[in-house]
Structure 1
Amino acid sequence: MHGAGNDFVMIDTISQRIKLRPRDIRRIADRRRGVGCDQVLLVEPPGQPEADFRYRIFNADGSEAGQCGNGARCFARFVRHRRLTHLTTMVVEAGSSLMTLRLRENHEVEVDMGAPLFTPADIPFRRAETAPEYELTAAGETLRVGVLSMGNPHAVLRVNDVNDGSLERLGEAIRSHEDFPEETNAGFLEVVDRTHVRLRVFERGVGETEACGSGACAAVVYGRRMGWLDDRVTVELTGGKLHIQWQGDDSSVLMTGPTAISFEGTIRL
């Protein structure tokens, strides 16, 4: 499946028993020797009584991720497609948090991503105090970045043009910066106007992806805090468009976007 070009292998572990090792994840994600994907998502029974499902996200390098907005949308459509639920609104566990997913028309899904976290220790980010943006030295440059968590860490840099050829080098430098003990997702934000932005994201454990749902949320939150954006923003990514809403303060971030089923099959591990 994919959500705006961010592609996933979805595996139902409710109707079948399976245990995947990191090397199995890497093989599945390999675009030449496996199926090929940005992340592998597992559908599991819930551990909390208020949840309908639990899902786990693994990056292409085998590491486990904490959150994935595009994956959450695909998750909602997948469990309906596989007849694992009749619900159109469901609550799922993702790491230690709960998310509400709502199926809309034309295979779109709205995800309640929860409230962003700004305290450095919660991100995690090696700074003593919370600020709207921080100074970061990366790839020999001094940058001003917004840093927050949407269930996973994000560092967002405003740029004039997301097609700038230097962004790949900067993305790698920010992603692996020593001030992020668990690495971070590096986003590059181009503000077109108050309701429209362009975005590129270099995800930890994956590299650049065609779309990043949590990255789109983080970019809009940063832009709102800096006074650049309204509370409803269309985020244009390489693979498509996402619609983000955030009222500010402690309110949840709502993300709506497309889902698509590419193909179904089996693999022997």
Structure 2
Amino acid sequence: MPGRRFCKVEGLANDFVLVDGRWETDDESERVAWWQRRAERLCHRRRGIGADGILLVVSPGDPAALARMVVINRDGSRPEMCGNGIRCVAHHLAMDTARTTFSVETDAGSRACTVVTSDDEVAEVAVDMGPATLDGGLQTFSYAPGLAFRSVDVGNPHAVTFVDDVPSLLTTAQALGLRVSTQACYPRGTNVEFAAVRPDGTLTAQVWERGVGLTQACGTGACAVAVAAAQAGLVPTDRAVSVHLPGGALSIELTTAGEGFAVRMTGPARRVFQGEFTAS
């Protein structure tokens, strides 16, 4: 088959293979399935391009949206939403169209994007992430003594827990992330955040992403951590809070909305390189 153009992109070291197929006319479901079957190989860090997932940019079903983003995880699964991914898609669209404000449709609904600053390589992008809801009470598990997990939906599911010992975040996430993510009480599976409040009042987190594993950053995870922290009274809601992840920090603004919060995320997106590959 002919070569396929792609762009390697990343947001806080959460990296993706971005493929723009807005002008392709074949059946979208078949096209997505084609990429899902090849995701593990393409995302392999030694035998492929290397990435946490694939971002497909396709024509939107929502007439108010500039494009639609389809996310495919490294294991071929399809999450509803990706915070770092949508910033990368917004940067790509801004470079292509010279527009700085537009909506991007996702499987979780359309999201308004504002490209605050941008050049060919790096952009700062703000995204209205929509409503975040807190689902039910706290979940505890016998294998995770002392930890209670709060379910937060930011268009995709998250389970957030807070720990007192910041240095233990990584080892705790490594030990418990997969097990919590696949608990029967989370029928769709869940992303899992192990978070803590830093002495300066900002937040820090390690994220186990459903379908990927530990990642350097998770945009929706940062939003979920901020929401869970606000609900617990750990951070104020009258100003933006920084959520620090291994790959860097995101700024999260919360506005009370009914039983939950409206969430706005701001952070970087970067185009790493462009290329072409042939995959049968």
TM-score by length of 2: 0.86
1:17 Cα deviation after fit: 5.9
The question of whether the paired residues in 2 share the 8 Å contact of 1:194 and 1:230 is answered with: no
Give unpaired runs (5+ residues) of structure 1.
120-129
The question of whether the paired residues in 2 share the 8 Å contact of 1:199 and 1:235 is answered with: yes
1:140 Cα deviation after fit: 5.2
Task: Give 1:260's aligned amino acid.
Answer: R
1:78 Cα deviation after fit: 1.0
2:67 aligned to which of 34, 46, 53 = 53
1:199 aligned to which of 201, 205, 210 = 205
Task: Give 1:109's aligned amino acid.
Answer: V
The question of whether the paired residues in 2 share the 8 Å contact of 1:194 and 1:233 is answered with: no
1:162 Cα deviation after fit: 4.0
Q: Distance in 2 between matches of 1:190 and 1:100?
A: 29
Q: Distance in 1 between matches of 2:144 and 2:117?
A: 47
Task: Give 1:104's aligned amino acid.
Answer: V
Superposition pairs of residues 225-264 of structure 1, within 5 angstroms: 225-231=231-237, 232-250=240-258, 251-264=261-274
CA pair 78-138 structure 1, distance change in 2 beyond 3 A: farther
Alignment identity in percent? 36
- Match of 1:101? 113
Indicate the RMSD between aligned Cα atoms, in angstroms. Answer: 1.7
The question of whether the paired residues in 2 share the 8 Å contact of 1:162 and 1:188 is answered with: no
- Match of 1:190? 196
Counterpart secondary structure, 1:27: helix
CA pair 116-54 structure 1, distance change in 2 beyond 3 A: same
Q: Distance in 2 between matches of 1:61 and 1:113?
A: 25
1:160 aligns with 2:158: no
- Match of 1:141? 145
- Match of 1:111? 127
1:146 Cα deviation after fit: 1.2
- Match of 1:124? none
Count of matched residue positions in the alignment of Structure 1 and Structure 2: 255
1:29 aligns with 2:43: yes
- Match of 1:174? 180
Give unpaired runs (5+ residues) of structure 2.
1-8
The question of whether the paired residues in 1 share the 8 Å contact of 2:149 and 2:159 is answered with: yes
CA pair 139-213 structure 1, distance change in 2 beyond 3 A: same
TM-score by length of 1: 0.90
1:191-250 Cα deviation digits (max 9, x unpaired):
014741111100000000000000000000000000010222111110011000102234
